[in-house]
A and B are shown apart, each in its own frame.
Chain A
Amino acid sequence: MNRNLHFLFLLGSLLLLPAISQAQKIIFTPQWTPQAQFAGYYVAQDKGFYREAGLDVDIVHPSASQSALSRIARNESHATTLMLPQAMEIIDNGIQLVNILQTSMNSGLVIVSRKNEDPLKQKGMRVGAWSVGFDQLPLSMSIKENLGYQWIRFVSGINLLLSGAIDATVAMSYNEYYQLVQAGMELTDTNVYRFCDHGYNVQEDGVYVTREYYEKNRDKAIKFAEASRRGWEWAAEHPEETLDIVMEYVREYRVDTNRTLQKLMLDEILRLQLDRESGQREFRLRPDMVTLMNQLMIENQMLINEVKYEDLIAL
């Protein structure tokens, strides 16, 4: 129900996108507050890669009162980052999106148990999941493995787990995972379940625009994707300077984080960008992963229709 509401907001926003009209202007909204997860875009902006591509890019972050979706709803952004399952859901809901840049090559999703026990062996336990989504993979897995988890939705953070209100939580290996480590939790191979290691390795972050926008601004979108890719490649080569840039954004938005956490996040994000098979930063959507995700989501009634690889990429 909640998810559908978000889609409505997104739908409205995407339909209104053409209203933003300046020749080379692009407003880009990452899906979360400033952090190293978006380092490549900050680098592209700060190092002038967007400018060199002839683009005038504004990076506008969501806030408590202006989530990424609400910004879209208000017709204030052209491009955003989405996780692949999210994008597939949106397309399944009738909004055509184009993946113009796929940054993630692996899944960073994990389930962390409060006790030092294998999450797969704790059937029926309370597991925290974000109220805004990103739960397609955990839900699919728990159904497939017949775990009977009791899902507890929460906005963000790790307090429910720390206080013992829940037994485990879904976390991102680059974000909440390190927050838990920073909170003194001992994370081991036993109490951390990594989806990527159990046949659920599905790509995550990519940059999406509406297909309509793409058709009308193909050149601009391609330039934006290329400059963003350049930003990520530079970040991989200059992690310390990248961290400096990230921290500027973090400070500007007064995010509750620190350089140590952001460093760990950047390292992990960059690691997730390496394709497991080629070891390269490929920046492409993998058809096999799209197929896998389709299979999981259709099995669990998360998709009505299959969202094919061709439906996601620019033709």
Chain B
Amino acid sequence: MFTGNHGFLADRYVNIGQKKRTREEVIALLKQRLAPLKHTSDGSGEWKRGEAE
């Protein structure tokens, strides 16, 4: 992943019954799940989906 070659893992992604995804959609999914979660100010101490700080 450090090399930015997300396609390497996308080629090894196994669909176990999820909705059908193209290689590009798998790469987008992986990038989405690699992004940092942004801290919220709601006092919950939880992190939410967001941009890198």
Real complex partners, A and B? Answer: no
Enumerate chain B interface residues (CB-CB to A < 8 A).
none
